[in-house]
Chains A and B, each alone.
Chain A
Amino acid sequence: YFQISLQCAVNGVPCRGKVLTVDNMNPNVKRVEYAVRGPIVQRAVQIEKELREGVKKPFTEVIKANIGDAHAMGQKPITFLRQVLALCSYPELLEDNKFPEDAKKRAQRILGACGGHSIGAYSASQGIECVRQDVARYIEKRDGGIPSNPDNIYLSTGASDAIVTMLKLLVCGEGRDRTGVMISIPQYPLYSAALADLGAVQISYYLDEEKCWSLDVAELRRALNAARQHCNPRVLCIINPGNPTGQVQSRQCIEDVIRFAKEEHLFLMADEVYQDNVYAEGCKFHSFKKVLFEMGPEYSSTVEMASFHSTSKCYMGECGFRGGYMEVINMDPEVKTQLTKLVSVRLCPPVPGQALLDLVVNPPQPDEPSYITFMKERTAVLSALAEKARLTEQTFNAVPGITCNPVQGAMYTFPRITLPEKAIDKAKEEGKVPDMYYCMRLLEEEGICLVPGSGFGQREGTFHFRMTILPPTEKLKVVLQKIRDFHVRFTQEFS
Chain B
Amino acid sequence: MNAALSTRGGSQEKMTENGMMSRAKVLTIDTINPTVKKVEYAVRGPIVQRAVELERELSQGMKKPFAEVIKANIGDAHAMGQQPITFFRQVLALCSYPELLSDNTFPEDAKSRACRILQSCGGHSMGAYSASQGIDSVREDVARYIERRDGGVPCDPDDIYLTTGASDGIVTMLKLLVCGEGASRTGVMISIPQYPLYSAALAELGAVQINYYLNEEKCWSLDIPELQRALDEARQYCNPRALCIINPGNPTGQVQSRKCIEDVIQFAAKERLFLMADEVYQDNVYADGCQFHSFKKVLFEMGPEYSDTVELASFHSTSKCYMGECGFRGGYMELINMDDEVKAQLTKLVSVRLCPPVPGQALMDLVVNPPQPGEPSYDNFIKERTATLSALAEKAKLTEQVLNTVQGISCNPVQGAMYSFPRITIPEKAVKEATEKGQQPDMFYCMKMLEETGICLVPGSGFGQKDGTYHFRMTILPPSDKLKILLDKVKEFHQKFTQQYS
Interchain CB contact under 8 A, B352 and A93? no
Instruction: Choose one: B41, B78, B126; the contact of A345 (CB below 8 Å).
Output: B41
Q: Are B178 and A123 in contact, with the CB atoms below 8 A?
A: no
| A265 with B274, Cβ < 8 A, contacts A118-B84, A319-B129, A320-B125 known | no
B395: CB under 8 A from chain A? no
A114 interface hit (Cβ, 8 Å): yes
Q: How many Å lie between the Cα of A36 and that of B23 in the bound state?
A: 40
Chain B residues lying within 8 Å of A45, measured Cβ to Cβ, are 131
- Inside 8 A of B130's CB, which chain A residues have their CB? 320
With a cutoff of 8 Å between Cβ atoms, the chain A residues found around residue B129 in the complex are 67, 69, 72, 319-320
Residue of A nearest to B272 (CB): A19
Out of A38, A122, A266, A318, which one reaches B79, CB within 8 Å? A122
Q: Are B28 and A118 within 8 A (Cβ)?
A: no
Task: Pick from B4, B82, B123, B197 the residue with the most CB of A within 10 Å.
Answer: B123
The reply on B345 being an interface residue by CB < 8 A is: yes
Q: Which residues of A contact B353 (CB under 8 A)?
A: 157-158, 160-161, 164
Which of A263, A332, A347 contacts B3, CB < 8 Å?
A263
B376 within 8 A of A: no
State A94–B167 Cα separation when bound (angstroms).
33
- Of the candidates B167, B327, B341, the one whose C-beta lies within 8 Å of that of A22 is B341
Q: Is the CB of B345 within 8 A of A22?
A: yes
Which A residues touch B338, using CB under 8 A?
A: 18, 20
Q: B122 at interface (Cβ–Cβ under 8 A)?
A: yes
CB distance from B109 to the nearest CB of A (A): 15
A268 to B308, CA, bound (A): 50
Interface contact B352-A194, CB-CB below 8 Å: yes
Contact B123 A71 (CB under 8 A): yes
Contact of A318 among B76, B84, B127 (CB under 8 A): B127
Q: How far is the CB of A62 from chain B (nearest CB, A)?
A: 12
Question: Is A347 in contact with B44, judged by CB distance below 8 angstroms?
Answer: yes
Surface stretch bound by B, among A279-287, A350-358, A381-389: A350-358
Q: Is A338 interfacial (CB 8 A cutoff)?
A: yes
The yes or no answer to B349 lying at the interface (CB within 8 A) is: yes
Q: Which of B206-220 contact A (CB under 8 A)?
A: none
Please name all residues of chain B whose beta carbon is closer than 8 Å to the beta carbon of A90 when the two chains form the complex: 89-90, 92-93
Indicate which residue in B89, B128, B274, B348 contacts A19 across the interface (CB closer than 8 Å).
B274
A453, chain B: closest CB distance, angstroms: 19
The stretch of A27-35, A137-145, A238-246, A369-377 in contact with B is A27-35
Known: A123-B327, A319-B128. A331 touches B27 (CB 8 A): yes
List residues of chain A with CB within 8 A of the CB of B349: 29, 32, 197
Interchain CB contact under 8 A, B82 and A122: no
A-B contact count (CB 8 A): 302
Query: A16 contacts which of B39, B272, B359 (Cβ < 8 Å)?
Result: B272
The verdict on A37 contacting chain B, using a C-beta distance below 8 Å, is: yes
Answer whether A234 and B26 are a contact pair too, CB < 8 Å, given A120-B324, A172-B34, A338-B36: yes
- Residues of A with C-beta under 8 A to B81: 116
Q: Given contacts A96-B105, A267-B26, are A85 and B96 in contact (CB under 8 A)?
A: yes
Contact with A along B8-44 (1 / 0, CB 8 A): 1111000000000001011111011110110111011
Interface assignment of B442: CB less than 8 Å from any CB of chain A: no
8 Å CB contact of A25 from B308, B325, B342? B342
Question: Is B179 an interface position by the 8 A CB rule?
Answer: yes
- Interface membership of B481, Cβ < 8 A: no
Interface bits B233-270 vs A (CB < 8 Å: 1, else 0): 00000000100000000000000000000000000000
Decide: B96 and A82 in contact? CB cutoff 8 A. yes
B319-359 to A contact mask, C-beta < 8 Å, 1/0: 00001111111000000011101100100110111111111
Residue A344 at the chain B interface, CB threshold 8 Å? yes
**Is the beta-carbon distance between B359 and A193 smaller than 8 angstroms?**
no
- Minimal beta-carbon separation of A357 from chain B (angstroms): 13
CA A169 to CA B37, docked complex, whole Å: 9
Q: In the complex, how many angstroms separate the beta carbon of A130 from the nearest chain B beta carbon?
A: 13
B177 surroundings in chain A (CB, below 8 A): 20, 25-26
Q: Are B122 and A20 in contact (CB under 8 A)?
A: no
Which residues 47-103 in A have Cβ within 8 Å of B in the complex? 67, 69-75, 77, 82-83, 85-87, 89-90, 93, 96, 98
Residue of B nearest to A263 (CB): B3
Q: Which of A25, A36, A89 meets B93, CB within 8 Å? A: A89
What's the nearest-Cβ distance from chain A to residue B255, in Å? Answer: 24
The smallest C-beta distance from A212 to any residue of chain B, in angstroms, reads: 28
The minimal Cβ–Cβ distance linking A80 to chain B, given in whole angstroms, is 10
Least CB distance from A157 to B in Å reads: 6
What's the least CB distance linking A77 to chain B, in Å?
A: 5
B25 touches A232 (CB 8 A): no
Taking CB atoms, residues of chain B closer than 8 Å to A22 are 339, 341-342, 345
Contact B123 A72 (CB under 8 A): yes
* Residue contact B33 to A352, C-beta cutoff 8 Å: no
On whether the beta carbons of A121 and B4 are closer than 8 Å, the reply is no
Q: How far in angstroms is the closest Cβ of chain B from A438? A: 22
B147 at the A interface (CB under 8 A): no
Cβ of B457 under 8 Å from chain A: no
A470 to B12, CA, bound (A): 48
Q: Are A74 and B123 in contact (CB under 8 A)?
A: yes
* Contact A71:B125 (CB < 8 A) given known A89-B89, A121-B326: yes
Within 8 A of A (CB), among B402-441: none
User: A433 near B: Cβ within 8 Å?
Assistant: no
Chain B contacts for A82, CB-based, 8 A: 96-97
B-side contacts of A4, CB under 8 Å: 308-309
B62 within 8 A of A: no
* A365, chain B: closest CB distance, angstroms: 21
Lowest 7 CB-CB distances: which A-B pairs, in order?
A72-B122, A115-B79, A320-B358, A351-B327, A90-B93, A86-B97, A71-B125
